[in-house]
Amino acid sequence: MTVTGENYKAAREIYARAGVDTDEALRLLNEIPVSIHCWQIDDLGGFENPDRGLSGGIQATGSDPSKARTKEEFMTNLTKALSVVPGKNKLALHAVYLDNLGKFVDRDEITPENFAFWVEYAKEHQLGLDFNPTYFSHDKAESNFTLSSYDPAIREFWVEHGKRCRKISEYFGRELGQTSVNNHWIPDGYKDYTIDKLKHRELLMESMDEILKEKIDWKYCVDSFESKLFGLGLESYTVGSHEFYSNYAAIRNNCIVCMDMGHFHPTEAVSSKLSSYLVFDRQVQLHVSRPVRWDSDHVVVLDDELKEVMLEIKRQNAFDKVHIGTDYFDGSINRIAAQALGARSVKKALLYALLEPTDKLKEYEEADDLVRRLVYSEEHKAMPFGLVWEQFCEMNNVPGSDWLEKVL
């Protein structure tokens, strides 16, 4: 038996005394897909026009020289990052990561053919694919309004982009035999004092209705809409707020809400919001990010809120309702290591949650035995879950704590 195996045996016995089956936790962890975003590798530059630069209230900061400079370098670095992430994974793409097939293809012209190489990549690496329309970093987004623009020609352009992205996401789902989440985030808003906050939302609702007009089987494609508190240069008013998308999804019932952990007031916690959707049997998309003083898109680490989010999903047995994905881009450190670290942190948080003695804690709560609820919740924090994590890495033929040297 390896050292990892011996350590795992000891950890399994410790958890068993608390009523936790670590073998079952590992089995479940190996089946829960995490959607790993691709854009950490090149600061969301994409293949459409990598020199354009970001716009739309988002920014990648840092000057580490590891940013991928070509498509070939991007694919190599992405593959290297994914090679040290254990378990079942998906890959989230943005529309700007296309193959233009030797000619310029604008956003309202993209087709599944432009993303066929990603399907082949996914099959080779046993991945699912999620998708994101790119409603920013484009000449027709320079006014800071897209789907909610007063200009009907601008709205028409972006509506067509949204429709085509749905067909691409559906294509992914059919080709790979698993649901592709097609997530819409728009940057629309004003930097300063706003008079009419209703009109833009009326226009956004009309645009969304048009995009979602065609029915697509949720088996292949689920549309989500991602809210945001504000963006850089859009501090006073965001059209696509959390309340707007929550109401739209509830009333129209043909899409779901995406909650990014960095897109709320600093005192709000996504972990406390999840059950309000789950109680209505609603699906949710989760973008795991790490806000520092707000939506700074720092690399995800195993912090308290990440653990709380995963605990909430586990406590409600909602792994079939919550689509878990990552979303961050830090240009200050090695991009490959950052990509891998964030994804591994999400997996660790999932394991931490799966190893909680949830049934026992719920029994204490229902019996109003609040002291035992608190004490054993605290004792869980000191349990040797790191030894179980090392076992998970070994069973997936992925490096454990020494993974960094594999990607640098």
Taking only the tens place, the pLDDT of each residue in 243-293 is: 999 999 999 999 999 999 999 999 999 999 999 999 999 999 999 999 998
Taking only the tens place, the pLDDT of each residue in 81-95 is: 999 999 999 999 999
Q: State yes or no: is 226 an active-site residue.
A: yes
Taking only the tens place, the pLDDT of each residue in 172-225 is: 999 999 999 999 999 999 999 999 999 999 999 999 999 999 999 999 999 999
pLDDT over threshold 80, residue 11 = yes
Q: What global pTM score does this model have?
A: 0.96
Predicted local distance difference test score (pLDDT) of residue 22: 98
Predicted local distance difference test score (pLDDT) of residue 61: 82
Predicted local distance difference test score (pLDDT) of residue 232: 85
**pLDDT band for position 159 (cuts 50, 70, 90):** very high
Of the residues 39, 118, 158, 185, only one is catalytic, namely 185
DSSP state of 15: H
Q: State yes or no: is 94 an active-site residue.
A: no
Q: State yes or no: is 260 an active-site residue.
A: yes
SS3 category, 374: helix
Q: State yes or no: is 228 an active-site residue.
A: yes
Domains of the chain (ranges plus CATH)?
28-354 (3.20.20.150)
Of the residues 48, 226, 330, 390, only one is catalytic, namely 226
Q: Which amino acid is at 36?
A: I
Distances (CA, A) of 178 to 16, 64, 145, 220, 310: 34, 36, 33, 6, 22
Q: State yes or no: is 200 an active-site residue.
A: no
Q: State yes or no: is 118 an active-site residue.
A: no
Q: State yes or no: is 327 an active-site residue.
A: yes
Q: Which amino acid is at 143?
A: S
- Number of alpha carbons in the 13 Å side-chain half-sphere of residue 289: 25
Mean pLDDT of the region 44-49: 91
